[in-house]
Homo-oligomer: A and B are copies of this chain.
Amino acid sequence: MREDTRTRIQEIALRLFTEQGYEATSLREIAEELGVTKAALYYHFKTKDDIVASLADLRVAEVEELLEWARTQPRSPETRREVVQRYAEALRRPRYMEVARFMERNQTALRDHPKIVRIREAMLELVNEMSDPDDPLPLRIGRSLSLFALHAGKWMPHEESVSEDEVLEASLEVALRLLEP
Protein backbone atom coordinates (compact mmCIF):
# COMPACT_ATOMS: atom_id res chain seq x y z
CA MET A 1 0.00 0.00 0.00
CA ARG A 2 2.06 2.99 -1.20
CA GLU A 3 1.42 6.61 -0.38
CA ASP A 4 -0.57 8.75 -2.73
CA THR A 5 1.15 10.84 -5.34
CA ARG A 6 0.45 14.14 -3.62
CA THR A 7 2.29 13.11 -0.47
CA ARG A 8 5.19 11.75 -2.44
CA ILE A 9 5.50 15.02 -4.33
CA GLN A 10 5.64 16.87 -1.00
CA GLU A 11 8.34 14.58 0.33
CA ILE A 12 10.52 14.80 -2.75
CA ALA A 13 10.02 18.55 -3.03
CA LEU A 14 10.84 19.22 0.62
CA ARG A 15 14.04 17.24 0.36
CA LEU A 16 15.18 18.79 -2.90
CA PHE A 17 14.16 22.34 -1.96
CA THR A 18 16.18 22.03 1.24
CA GLU A 19 19.21 20.36 -0.26
CA GLN A 20 19.53 22.31 -3.49
CA GLY A 21 17.40 25.36 -2.90
CA TYR A 22 13.91 26.28 -4.01
CA GLU A 23 14.70 27.98 -7.29
CA ALA A 24 17.48 25.60 -8.12
CA THR A 25 15.03 22.71 -8.01
CA SER A 26 13.07 22.34 -11.22
CA LEU A 27 9.69 20.73 -11.49
CA ARG A 28 11.21 18.44 -14.09
CA GLU A 29 13.61 17.10 -11.44
CA ILE A 30 10.76 16.38 -9.04
CA ALA A 31 8.72 14.81 -11.81
CA GLU A 32 11.62 12.61 -12.87
CA GLU A 33 12.11 11.21 -9.37
CA LEU A 34 8.42 10.48 -9.32
CA GLY A 35 8.43 8.95 -12.76
CA VAL A 36 6.02 11.35 -14.46
CA THR A 37 6.31 14.48 -16.63
CA LYS A 38 6.38 17.92 -15.09
CA ALA A 39 2.97 18.75 -16.51
CA ALA A 40 1.55 15.92 -14.42
CA LEU A 41 2.54 17.78 -11.26
CA TYR A 42 0.17 20.54 -12.25
CA TYR A 43 -2.71 18.21 -11.67
CA HIS A 44 -1.82 17.86 -7.98
CA PHE A 45 -0.55 21.37 -7.33
CA LYS A 46 -1.64 24.50 -9.14
CA THR A 47 1.87 26.02 -9.08
CA LYS A 48 5.31 25.48 -7.62
CA ASP A 49 4.34 27.98 -4.93
CA ASP A 50 1.41 25.78 -4.10
CA ILE A 51 3.74 22.97 -3.11
CA VAL A 52 5.43 25.39 -0.72
CA ALA A 53 2.05 26.39 0.70
CA SER A 54 1.22 22.79 1.47
CA LEU A 55 4.56 22.37 3.23
CA ALA A 56 4.20 25.58 5.21
CA ASP A 57 0.72 24.79 6.47
CA LEU A 58 1.86 22.74 9.44
CA ARG A 59 4.13 25.44 10.74
CA VAL A 60 1.63 28.24 10.23
CA ALA A 61 -0.83 26.56 12.56
CA GLU A 62 1.85 25.75 15.11
CA VAL A 63 3.34 29.24 15.33
CA GLU A 64 0.03 31.09 15.28
CA GLU A 65 -1.34 28.91 18.05
CA LEU A 66 1.72 29.59 20.15
CA LEU A 67 1.34 33.32 19.54
CA GLU A 68 -2.33 33.29 20.47
CA TRP A 69 -1.56 31.42 23.65
CA ALA A 70 1.24 33.83 24.57
CA ARG A 71 -1.13 36.76 24.16
CA THR A 72 -3.51 35.35 26.72
CA GLN A 73 -0.72 35.16 29.28
CA PRO A 74 0.82 37.90 31.41
CA ARG A 75 4.26 39.11 30.34
CA SER A 76 6.14 37.27 33.04
CA PRO A 77 9.39 35.28 33.25
CA GLU A 78 7.28 32.12 33.50
CA THR A 79 5.42 32.91 30.29
CA ARG A 80 8.67 33.57 28.45
CA ARG A 81 10.16 30.28 29.59
CA GLU A 82 6.96 28.50 28.63
CA VAL A 83 7.01 30.05 25.14
CA VAL A 84 10.57 28.93 24.56
CA GLN A 85 9.82 25.46 25.87
CA ARG A 86 6.71 25.09 23.74
CA TYR A 87 8.61 26.21 20.67
CA ALA A 88 11.29 23.63 21.43
CA GLU A 89 8.61 20.97 21.71
CA ALA A 90 7.18 21.96 18.35
CA LEU A 91 10.61 21.54 16.81
CA ARG A 92 10.63 17.95 17.96
CA ARG A 93 7.47 17.05 16.07
CA PRO A 94 7.96 15.08 12.88
CA ARG A 95 8.75 17.18 9.78
CA TYR A 96 8.56 20.50 11.67
CA MET A 97 12.32 20.89 11.88
CA GLU A 98 12.66 19.91 8.23
CA VAL A 99 10.15 22.55 7.17
CA ALA A 100 11.84 25.14 9.39
CA ARG A 101 15.20 24.34 7.82
CA PHE A 102 13.75 24.58 4.34
CA MET A 103 12.28 27.98 5.15
CA GLU A 104 15.44 29.31 6.75
CA ARG A 105 17.54 28.32 3.82
CA ASN A 106 15.24 29.88 1.26
CA GLN A 107 14.29 33.12 2.95
CA THR A 108 14.45 35.45 -0.02
CA ALA A 109 13.11 33.01 -2.55
CA LEU A 110 9.99 32.65 -0.39
CA ARG A 111 9.91 36.26 0.71
CA ASP A 112 6.49 37.14 -0.67
CA HIS A 113 4.83 33.80 -0.17
CA PRO A 114 1.63 34.45 1.84
CA LYS A 115 2.03 31.48 4.16
CA ILE A 116 5.69 32.25 4.76
CA VAL A 117 4.85 35.88 5.44
CA ARG A 118 2.32 34.75 8.05
CA ILE A 119 4.89 32.57 9.78
CA ARG A 120 7.50 35.31 9.79
CA GLU A 121 5.05 37.88 11.11
CA ALA A 122 3.83 35.56 13.84
CA MET A 123 7.44 34.88 14.86
CA LEU A 124 8.14 38.62 15.03
CA GLU A 125 5.01 39.17 17.12
CA LEU A 126 6.13 36.38 19.38
CA VAL A 127 9.51 38.03 19.82
CA ASN A 128 7.61 41.22 20.60
CA GLU A 129 5.70 39.50 23.34
CA MET A 130 8.97 38.52 24.99
CA SER A 131 9.98 42.04 26.00
CA ASP A 132 8.61 45.39 27.07
CA PRO A 133 9.62 48.40 24.98
CA ASP A 134 11.44 49.94 27.94
CA ASP A 135 13.54 46.88 28.72
CA PRO A 136 17.24 47.54 28.16
CA LEU A 137 18.29 46.92 24.54
CA PRO A 138 20.72 44.06 25.25
CA LEU A 139 18.03 42.19 27.16
CA ARG A 140 15.55 42.68 24.32
CA ILE A 141 18.08 41.41 21.81
CA GLY A 142 18.93 38.43 23.97
CA ARG A 143 15.27 37.53 24.19
CA SER A 144 14.81 37.94 20.46
CA LEU A 145 17.74 35.63 20.00
CA SER A 146 16.39 33.02 22.40
CA LEU A 147 13.80 31.55 20.04
CA PHE A 148 16.33 31.62 17.31
CA ALA A 149 18.91 29.88 19.48
CA LEU A 150 16.88 26.69 19.20
CA HIS A 151 17.87 26.49 15.57
CA ALA A 152 21.53 27.08 16.37
CA GLY A 153 22.51 23.43 16.12
CA LYS A 154 23.23 24.02 12.46
CA TRP A 155 26.36 26.01 13.20
CA MET A 156 27.74 23.25 15.34
CA PRO A 157 30.31 21.07 13.64
CA HIS A 158 28.51 17.75 13.16
CA GLU A 159 29.76 15.05 15.45
CA GLU A 160 28.83 11.41 15.53
CA SER A 161 28.83 11.35 19.29
CA VAL A 162 26.12 13.97 19.72
CA SER A 163 22.51 13.34 18.72
CA GLU A 164 20.11 15.96 17.33
CA ASP A 165 18.06 15.64 20.47
CA GLU A 166 20.99 16.37 22.74
CA VAL A 167 21.80 19.44 20.66
CA LEU A 168 18.23 20.66 20.94
CA GLU A 169 18.25 20.05 24.69
CA ALA A 170 21.46 22.04 25.08
CA SER A 171 20.15 24.79 22.80
CA LEU A 172 17.09 25.05 25.01
CA GLU A 173 19.36 25.64 27.99
CA VAL A 174 21.11 28.46 26.13
CA ALA A 175 17.78 29.91 25.03
CA LEU A 176 16.42 29.97 28.58
CA ARG A 177 19.54 31.69 29.82
CA LEU A 178 19.13 34.39 27.18
CA LEU A 179 15.75 35.31 28.67
CA GLU A 180 17.22 36.61 31.92
CA PRO A 181 19.30 39.77 32.46
Contacts and interface: CB of A to CB of B under 8 A. Distances in A.
Given A111-B21, A128-B157, A152-B148, A138 B174 contact: yes
A37 interface: no
Given A148-B152, A155-B127, A157-B128, A23 B137 contact: no
A17 to B, nearest CB: 8
Q: How many copies does the complex hold?
A: 2
Given A127-B155, A155-B148, A157-B124, A141 B174 contact: yes
A170 B155 contact: no
Which range holds the interface residue count of chain A? 35 or more
A171 B24 CA distance: 34
Interface in A84-104: 104
Nearest to A18: B108
B109 A24 contact: yes
A47 to B, nearest CB: 15
Residue among A128, A145, A166, A178 with most chain B CB within 10 A: A145
B141 A145 contact: no
Contacts of A174: 138, 141-142, 145, 178
A55 interface: no
24 contacts: A18-B108, A21-B108, A21-B111, A22-B108, A24-B109, A105-B108, A107-B107, A123-B155, A127-B157, A138-B171, A138-B173, A138-B174, A140-B156, A140-B170, A141-B156, A144-B155, A144-B156, A145-B149, A145-B152, A145-B174, A148-B152, A148-B155, A174-B178, A178-B178
Which 6 pairs of residues, A with B, have the shortest CB-CB distance?
A21-B108, A23-B23, A137-B170, A138-B173, A138-B170, A105-B108
